[in-house]
Amino acid sequence: MPFGPERRDLVDGKEITLADGTRIKPDDVLGAWEKGSKLVLVGDAGRTDNLLEACKDADTLVIESTYLDEEADMAKQFSHLTARMGAELARKAGVKANSYSYFAPLS
């Protein structure tokens, strides 16, 4: 099967015709539907109440957690999260695995 739009068309349920005239239907080449993995990446958010639905039942959540809970005031001041905020979001959303991060871009 060639790379490119033909593959997309098959996944979209469309029949394709190859350059040699061969007609291929999606059922000829696609297997049964398999559930994928849900990965959620959260950067500088400042709050988590608006992230619950996006994180619901995620397989993995990678979330910014620049500060510890005792630094919550500073986190709020700079629109960052604490590790506790990330953990509570993961618990409420039913996340299977979570990872905490901090990314500082180079100036």
In tens, the pLDDT along 33-60 reads 778 899 999 999 999 999 999 999 999 9
Residue 31: how many CB atoms within 10 A of its CB?
6
CA distance 83 to 89: 10
pLDDT at 106: 72
pLDDT tens digit sequence for 3-29: 789 888 998 999 999 889 999 999 998
Strand 16-17 and strand 23-24: the pairing is antiparallel
Element (H, E) at 100: strand 97-101
Cα 7 from Cα 60, distance rounded (Å): 28
Q: What is the CA radius of gyration of the chain?
A: 21
Q: Where are the alpha helices (DSSP H) in the chain?
A: 5-11, 26-29, 52-55, 72-77, 83-93
Q: What is the pTM of this model?
A: 0.67
pLDDT at 1 over 70: no
How many residues comprise the chain? 107
Query: Which pLDDT tens digit goes with each residue over 55-81?
Result: 999 999 999 998 999 999 999 999 999
Q: CA torsion angle for 65, 67, 73, 78 (degrees, to 10)?
A: -60
